[in-house]
Amino acid sequence: MMKREKKIKQPAKKRNKGTLLHLNSSIENADNGEKGVNKKNNANKQEGNNQENEKEGFELNIPEETKDLLGEKTIDNFHLKLNRFALYDIENAYKVENQKISENFFYQEWEKDYSQFIDEHNESICTLFNKENLIKLDLKTSYYLLIGSEESIYETSIRLHHIYGFPYIPSSAIKGTFRNYIINTAYEKSEKKALACPKFIEIFGSQDNEGKVIFFDAFPKDKPSLKIDILNPHYKDYYDGKSAPTDTQNPVPVKFLTVKNTSFTFIIGFKENKLNEIEDIKKSFKECLKDFGIGAKTSVGYGDME
């Protein structure tokens, strides 16, 4: 019987990790008013930044095809830059570098057009309703605002518009916050009692009925301001179930982005004209955002509006 030839196992092909990019360098270019494409004389600076990342032990892995498409261009969408072009720990692929998060993220050209864009956006919504069937409020954050609930590579995320890149408050969060406020204040914190009330269902709807009030995404009225905040767990080993909460453990600060000193435009539309109810809802809605806030960490003052 002929013996089968034993195949020699070939070593696994090493994957090309792509190129190393420096997140802050592209943001600095944006802050200086440069356009999305770097000049050729910045190539040496880019190479130096890549070496700096290697020394720090962090790198940005992108496919070879993406590297070729980018060339010397920078990313002008902050959502894309923050979540898709983050720096990873070379030794630990699950660890993300969050020390290079920038508070400044607007390109000068986009900043010039922003007010016009927002005005056109709001006007397009207002054309869907008669003037008397509309609530439009400009409310400003009195402290930090943190809208998360978005898949992110960071421990604490921030909601950014996937097309435009700026922070916003989604309509689902606005409606959910206001709905919960009404249940707690008008129906003794009982959703069952609320759903038994026709007026409540008329506003918010139910599984069997569609509500007659429409909540829209709230965009910043002017250029939003991002600020870095810190979450500082003092007992990491205790939270991980490894030891008791003692003072011998080192704090592990976690930086994350928040919105501060920014006005948002809230727009609520009504399918039917009931002037008295509209005024009541407007009053309750302002009280909700002023007294209870919106978003995460409202128990410590985040998300309050004025």
pLDDT string in tens for the chain (306-residue length): 444 444 444 443 333 333 233 333 333 333 333 333 344 444 444 444 444 443 356 666 778 888 788 887 777 778 887 777 776 666 655 555 554 555 555 555 566 678 888 888 888 988 888 888 899 999 999 989 998 766 777 777 889 888 888 899 999 999 999 999 999 999 999 999 999 999 999 999 999 999 999 999 999 998 888 888 888 888 888 888 888 988 888 887 877 889 999 999 999 999 877 757 888 999 999 999 999 999 988 988 899 999
Q: What is the 3-state secondary structure (H, E, C) of the chain?
A: CCCCCCCCCCCCCCCCCCCCCCHHHHHHHHHCCCCCECCHHHHHHHHHHHHHHHHHCEECCCCHHHHHHHCCECCCCHHHHHHHCCCEECCCCCCECCCCCCCCCCCHHHHHHHHHHHHHHHHHHHCCCCHHHEEEEEEEECCCECCCCCCCCCCCCCCECCCCCCECECHHHHHHHHHHHHHHHHCCCCHHHHHCCHHHHHHHCCCCCCCCEEECCEEECCCCCEEEEEECCCCHHHHCCCCCCCCCCCCCCEEEEEECCCEEEEEEEECCCCHHHHHHHHHHHHHHHHHCCCCCCHHHCCCCEC
Sort 116 into a burial class: Cβ within 10 Å, 0-12 / 13-18 / 19+. Answer: exposed
Q: 222-261, pLDDT tens digit by residue?
A: 888 888 888 888 888 888 888 898 888 888 787 788 999 9
Token pair listed for 19: 């190129």
Amino acid at 271: K
Give pTM, 2 decimals: 0.75
Long-range contacts of the stretch 39-47 (C-beta < 8 A, 24+):
40/72, 42/72, 43/72, 46/21, 46/22, 46/72
Distance CA 289, CA 305 (A): 5
Residue 135 contacts residue 157 (beta carbons within 8 Å): no
